[in-house]
Structure 1
Amino acid sequence: MPEPGPRMNGFSLGELCWLFCCPPCPSRIAAKLAFLPPEPTYTVLAPEQRAPAPAATPAPAPAAQPAPAEEGAGPGACSLHLSERADWQYSQRELDAVEVFFSRTARDNRLGCMFVRCAPSSRYTLLFSHGNAVDLGQMCSFYIGLGSRINCNIFSYDYSGYGVSSGKPSEKNLYADIDAAWQALRTR
């Protein structure tokens, strides 16, 4: 980022040049403005990595863990561990209703996915694309509440570069992410 200088409407000339000219590609400009991935608030552990722990234990560093199995591992193959920043509002019973797994995008990114079974008798599942500056760990409590209120299950995913998903946030990756999420939901 360039050094701050005189400001025009909150931006210095150097910041404006950096934003629009380095490089001058519309997709890069959109990525600089649109994607603000937070620090991950959760981890996904494979069965061999599980250890009995309370719902809101600090999550280990994602880089120190081997990658859990991909989508084909089956229901309940991976477990969700939330950090303190995830702000979990429910009991372990509700957390156990959250299924986490990975899918692969057309751009070869690993996509963190979450299926929240809020209403076992529901005929409907909502595919939810969360907001910009959050990840699945921060949204998990919201999904439980939403699904319970509208009597449907919730399926969500983290964009490339968010949470446990690999890759970098970009417009092209975003399209591949939603397509992979849709395909994963259709096979559930």
Structure 2
Amino acid sequence: MHGPASPGWLLVVLCAATGAYCLLRMRSPVEEQRRIAGGEALMGFGMAAMAVPAAVATPPRWAWLAYTAVFGATAVRALWTARTSPHHLHHLMGAFAMVYMAGVMAASPGHHGHGGSGVPLVTGVLLLYFTGYVLRSGVRLLPLAAATPGGTRTLGWGDRPELSQACRLSMGIAMLAMLVTL
């Protein structure tokens, strides 16, 4: 994405670290958690690659088209799986946002952003969605007193709900940052 180099590198590190943690989550014994973690790992690494500052490496137009194809396929898969799990609706929105950003970058490789015409409607809708998602995810991380039925249970790294929620929050914040610099 286009913007200052330092925040761009911070986005790269945040997204790559989130993608790496999602790979760890894929070791969960629960199949649905592995599937969700795989999609989130793809999203994290894809966002890291897209966030590399343009001053360092400006991808050729075909790279943006490849991003569009990969995340378009991801969006179709998320649409298909959304019928059984509402969480996949968020994956659909994330994949759509990636397709949109890659499409904008493929269509306008010579200039940064949308010009002086203001925020386009799609960008505005995505900004509103991800702002709401980040706020909701942040609230869900607030500590609550909860009783665990059956005593305590040791959870593996792939099954820690607070870590996976923090992962989703990080990617939501990164998506907001990328949309703002679009």
Shorter-chain TM band: under 0.3
Highest Rg: 1 or 2?
A: 1
RCO greater where, 1 or 2, for CA within 8 Å and sep 6 or more?
2
Higher helix proportion (structure 1 or 2):
2
User: If the length of structure 1 is used for normalisation, what is the TM-score?
Assistant: 0.27
